[in-house]
Amino acid sequence: MSIKIGIYGYGNLGRGVENAVRQNEDLELAAVFTRRDPSSLKINTPGVPVYHADKAVELKDEIDVMIICGGSATDLPEQTPALAKLFNVVDSFDTHAKIPEHFKNVDACAKESGKVAVISVGWDPGMFSVNRLYGGAILPDGKDYTFWGRGVSQGHSDAIRRIDGVADAKQYTIPVDEALEAVRGGTNPELTTRQKHIRECFVVAKEGADKAKIEEEIKTMPNYFADYDTTVHFISQQELNENHSSIPHGGFVIRCGKTGANLENTHIIEYSLKLDSNPEFTSSVLVAFARAAARLNSEGASGCKTVLDIPPAYISPKSGEELRKELL
């Protein structure tokens, strides 16, 4: 019997979940929920109903796991606790500093309903977190480093678009090769923000806008750009559309640690991602952990979990026997 998946919110992430569900034979898309007018939504999967978000409560018994595809700023802090009262849920809440608070809120609701909620699923938080944990536990005398990119940062692109005279923009975060090599060298270097990443901006200026002023405003913007070496390229809207419409991302988690009687041996653990589509990869992680949520709940578990709490085997459709035979 397949696991019935609901998608709550149909943006980039929701569409990614829809595609990912189709790649997994043991999962079945049961319904899509939207806050827009459901009749205005054309989804990719024939025969699957689209409901207004308010109808979710009525579908309580038709959905095994609801994958919540809202944004972290305002949607998920409301939606995940509310939906955890009705469903097993998975979300991609990624405001790192607020994860403990979100966990607490969701945990209370999921314990009350007897459901399982898996929060902060994706790659960072998510697979990067898992790798920071494994690395630190295996090599306690060490240090870890996270680099992001090359990839599009939505937040930084938005910040540029808010500048007066800017019509459109894309910002790429790029790890500095020399910093990556220094870390891989095993010397545990101390690296400043500026030494780790550079920022490259592709900006479409409005007709008659002062480009020098825009460039200056970008490069001196506190938090977003001032601490980085930033380059700004002005291009046409057509060029932006043609060459910068995809959403690649990725990054590196590197643990460098020492072992031995006198800590004389150095070990480097490196995990990296190179993603053509940031939202589609995140969706694929969400879908795999939806499988775990269903299985955990069917075994009687309830409450809030993160990727750190879930046995790897639970995200796979294969049995323990198959996994031991094929992968171990």
Output the CA torsion sign for 299, 300, 301, 302: positive
Question: How far apart are CB 292 and its own copies at their closest, in Å?
Answer: 9
Q: What is the DSSP-derived secondary structure letter of residue 6? A: E
Alpha carbon distance 316, 304 (integer Å): 20
Question: Contact between 105 and its own copies (CB under 8 A)?
Answer: no
Residue 242 CB, shortest distance to its own copies, in Å, is 17
Nearer to its own copies, 212 or 261 (CB): 261
The answer to whether the CB of 172 falls within 8 A of the CB of 199 is: yes
Task: Using the structure block, give the residue that is written with the tokens 């980085």.
Answer: 228
CA separation for the pair 174, 243 (Å, rounded): 17
Give SS3 for 200.
strand
By CB under 8 A, what part of segment 152-171 binds its own copies? none
Interface segment toward its own copies; rule CB under 8 A; list 34-42, 149-157, 171-179, 285-293: 285-293
Contact 286, 17 (CB under 8 A): yes
Paired with 171 in beta bridges are 201
Neighbour tally for 200: CB within 10 Å: 17
The nearest distance, CB 248 to its own copies, in angstroms, is 9
Q: Which of 113, 129, 157, 230 binds its own copies (CB under 8 A)?
A: 129
Nearer to its own copies, 30 or 273 (CB): 273
Binding status of residue 273 toward its own copies by CB under 8 A: yes
Site membership for its own copies, residue 194 (CB under 8 A) = no
CB-nearer residue toward its own copies: 11 or 236: 11
- Distance in Å, CB of 172 to its own copies, minimum: 17
Select the residue interacting with its own copies from 60, 206, 213, 324 (CB under 8 A). 324
Q: In whole angstroms, how close is the CB of 234 to its own copies at the nearest point?
A: 29
Q: Which own/partner contact pairs does 178-184 have at CB distance under 8 Å and 24+ positions apart? A: 179/147, 180/147, 180/252, 180/254, 183/145, 183/254, 183/256, 184/254, 184/268, 184/270
Within residues 27-46, the interface with its own copies by CB under 8 A covers 44
Answer yes or no whether residue 188 interacts with its own copies by CB under 8 A. Answer: no
Q: Does 269 bind its own copies (CB under 8 A)?
A: yes
Decide if residue 226 touches its own copies (CB under 8 A): no
Q: Which of 38, 136, 165, 189 binds its own copies (CB under 8 A)?
A: 136
* Cα distance between residue 8 and residue 213, in whole Å: 42
Residues whose CB falls within 8 Å of the CB of residue 30, separated by 6 or more in sequence, listed in order: 4, 5, 6, 48, 59, 62, 63, 64
In whole angstroms, what is the distance from residue 77 CA to residue 68 CA?
A: 11
Binding residues for its own copies restricted to 299-318, rule: CB under 8 A: 306-313, 315-317
* Residue 213 DSSP SS3: helix
Binding site for its own copies (CB under 8 A): 16, 19-20, 23-24, 44, 96, 99-100, 103, 120, 125, 127, 129-134, 136-141, 184, 257, 259-261, 265-277, 280-281, 283-285, 288, 291, 306-313, 315-317, 320-321, 323-325, 327-328
